[in-house]
Amino acid sequence: MGEDPYLASKMVVPYIKGVQMNGVAACVKHFALNNQELWRNHIDVQVSDRALHEIYLPAFKAAVKLGKSWSVMGAYNQFRGQHCSHHELLLNTILKTDWNFDGVVISDWGGTHDTKEAALNGLDLEMGSPIDTNRLPRQVFDANFLGSSFSELLKSGEINERVLDDKVRRILRLMMRTTLDLSRPLGKINNIEHSHVARQVAREGIVLLKNKANFFPLDTKKKLTIALIGENTIKSMTTGGGSSELKADYEVSPLEGIKKRFKNCNIIFSRGYTSENFENSDQVINSLINDALEKASQADIVLFVGGLNKNRGQDCEAEDRKELKLPYNQDYLISELHKVNHNIGVVLVSGNAVSMPWISNVKAVLQTWYLGSEAGNAIADIISGDSNPSGKLPFSFPVKLNENSAHFFGELSYPGNGETQFYKDDILVGYRWHDTKNIKPLFSFGHGLSYTTFKILNIKSDKKVYSVDDSLNISYKLKNTGRKDGAEVVQVYIGKSDSKVTRALKELKGFKKTYLSSGKETTEIIRLKLTDFSFYDESISDWSLEKGEYEIYVGNSSENISEIIRINIE
């Protein structure tokens, strides 16, 4: 849910509660440190205790302790020499003991590797182990690691029956919470209310990255010729991608959504590039490019709808991306389009960051993600101005791949040597890395523009000196100074420049999204818990709150800070 542990922690809790209020179990995955697909079944991750607890565990902790998730899925990879689906420290010590998790731990498909480890190290339900399927169903089940071999260890007394009792108790509890719960509400599927919610969620997630000379929104009343260029204009994004594939009842493409909304306009489409493999590929590619250039030269406005997709090597399970740049020669195509038409806006459909060597040649960039059934309608809502974009980036877009913290440290950091991987960036992940090392990103964490303008004024804390048990209240006035109604997300970060340990320049600790009509203003308060200022102290294997002076950064992205105030903790 993003590169920041606080953001992910805040987003995951209501998600889980919303799912489970309907008698459906949320399954939080992958626990933990599952951050690459290459060698995912065996790569052994080495990371400091501090980075583990400050960066990689907080969202899981919130999911369990605050969200009360009913199930957790273990990761494929190893951590310090032990597979995560049956890991003594992660599952028995942290999850089930420290966090009091009372749900079911499930292995990912084929993620179980040893009967005794699985039995003793916290795995409750084994899924999809690669066994001989040319047997009768009962024999197939018995062949699993938690099948007959587990039964023999119980019968021999090598494993105490209490281990089995705990697993059975957890699975029965999950059944009682779901299919055996007589108060469980009846569900609905693909009704009009679902479509409305899907469209709203999609709209609010879209991020306006660049908007030179107010390129967006486009005027729906003008009889413009709009050239829609790019395969993602028509490509289905609910299908493909391995486990990210959805069985959607319908999917509105960007082409459908834009044509429907811009009925006064002449909409012309050209594929421009292809992700498919063809014989005589050079001939096909050149033909597509030439058609795109011809269409673009005829248009008042060019909307390039490109990005990634769910093919292997893109946003797809089981294989990492090969590079940061756009695939299928899209960078070249955009540069060629600029030669015939300077009025270009880019609509990126992707689940991840891309480099943008063409950024100075386009007037606007929208990051739309994968928006599901209502994708095309939501995109049309934004580019027409029917809805004002208010999304913010949940991670940083680096200019170049080696300016990302994991890649900066070379192959041992990512992807490892084939056996072991070392998280050399430690706690300096994402914007923490960019800010602390003064490496300017292409687009910063928390960045997102609007069709209106906002000012954050009168920023202050409720006092200057706090004791350890206090809460910190940051108040501010937010004013919509533009001509359109819209929403802004004010973000609060903390830093400690004189810390006794290495710290990031700043860390997100609070945010609030506020909707305001044009010309209106409001006073808001963001409350922070001082315990959230703690760092994980490896010398005591626990959290520690330093006393002294802290910097409080208030702005609308990690890079755009309106004011810094200082407080003291005694």
pLDDT over 80 at 338, yes or no:
yes
256 and 204 together in one domain: yes
Does pLDDT of 243 surpass 90?
no
Does the annotation count 108 as an active-site position?
yes
Q: Based on the domain organization, do 28 and 160 belong to the same domain?
A: yes
Structure tokens at 241: 């991608």
Q: Which helix (H) or strand (E) holds 506?
A: none
Q: Report pLDDT for 130.
A: 67
pLDDT in tens, 493-515: 999 999 999 999 999 999 999 99
Domain presence at residue 480: yes
Locate tokens 């273990």: which residue? 74
Residue 132 lies in a domain: yes
Token reading at 300: 């008042």
Identify whether residues 152 and 112 lie together within a single domain.
yes
CA 299 from chain centre, in angstroms, equals 35
The pLDDT value recorded for residue 131 is 66
How many domains does one find in the chain? 3
What is the pLDDT, as a whole number, of residue 468?
Answer: 87
Rg of the Cα atoms in the chain: 26
Local confidence band at 187 (pLDDT 50, 70, 90 cut-offs): confident
In this structure, what CATH number is given to the domain that contains residue 468?
2.60.40.10
Residue 25: is its pLDDT beyond 80?
A: yes
What is the per-residue pLDDT for 135?
Answer: 72
- Is residue 142 very low, low, confident or very high in pLDDT (cuts 50, 70, 90)? confident
Q: For 246, which DSSP code? A: -
201 shares a domain with 270 = yes
Taking residue 81's Cβ as centre, other Cβ atoms within 10 Å add up to 10
- Among the candidates 177, 207, 225, a domain finishes at 177
CATH classification of the domain holding 119? 3.20.20.300
On the question of pLDDT at 133 being above 70, the answer is: no
pLDDT category of residue 134 using cuts at 50, 70 and 90: confident
Report, as an integer, the average pLDDT of 24-43.
Answer: 96
In this structure, is residue 436 part of a structural domain? no
> Which secondary-structure segment (H or E) carries 308?
none
State the average pLDDT over residues 383-400: 97
Q: Is residue 294's pLDDT more than 70?
A: yes
Q: One of 108, 315, 381, 426 is an active-site residue; which one?
A: 108
**Percent of the chain whose predicted confidence (pLDDT) is above 90:** 91
Residue 473 has pLDDT above 70, yes or no: yes
CA-CA distance, 286 to 280, in Å (whole number)? 10
Q: Across-strand partners of 487?
A: 515
Is 243 domain-assigned?
yes
Q: What is the pLDDT of residue 279?
A: 67
Distances 563 to 181, 496, 521 between C-alpha atoms, Å: 51, 16, 18
pLDDT of residue 28: 98
Q: Which of 384, 407, 438 is the C-terminal boundary of a domain?
A: 384
- CA distances from residue 486 to 16, 383, 385, 426 in whole angstroms, order as listed: 28, 14, 11, 38
User: pLDDT band at 305, cuts 50/70/90?
Assistant: very high
Same domain for 32 and 136? yes
Using alpha carbons only, what angle is made at residue 450 by residues 449 and 451, rounded to the nearest 5 degrees?
140
* pLDDT (tens digit per residue) in 430-457: 999 999 999 999 999 999 999 999 999 9
Contacts of 411 (CB under 8 A, 6+ apart): 417
DSSP alpha helix (H) spans, 156-253: 161-177, 192-205
CATH of the domain at 295: 3.40.50.1700
pLDDT in tens, 253-275: 999 999 999 999 999 999 999 99
Residue 132 has pLDDT above 70, yes or no: no
| pLDDT-based confidence at residue 246 (cuts at 50, 70, 90) | confident
**Residue 283: which domain range?**
192-384
Q: Is residue 356 located within the same domain as residue 213?
A: yes
For range 193-198, the mean pLDDT:
96
Q: What is the pTM of this model?
A: 0.95
Please indicate, yes or no, whether residues 135 and 199 belong to a single structural domain of this protein.
no
Same structural domain, 56 and 200: no
Write the CB contacts of 283 (distance below 8 Å, at least 6 apart in sequence): none
Rounded Cα gap, residues 44 and 38, in angstroms: 12
How far apart CA 97 and CA 442 sit, in angstroms, is: 42
Q: Give the pLDDT score at 529.
A: 92
**pLDDT at site 542:** 96
Q: Which structure tokens are listed for 235?
A: 């490509």
- 469 has pLDDT over 90: no
Which region among 158-162, 181-185, 517-521 has the lowest average model confidence (pLDDT)?
181-185
For the cut 90, the answer to whether the pLDDT of residue 129 exceeds it is no
Q: Where are the beta strands (DSSP E) in 385-485?
A: 420-422, 454-461, 465-466, 471-480
Question: Is 484 within a domain?
Answer: yes
Tell me, what DSSP letter sits at residue 316?
B
- The answer on 150 and 11 residing in a single domain is yes
- Per-residue pLDDT at 244: 83
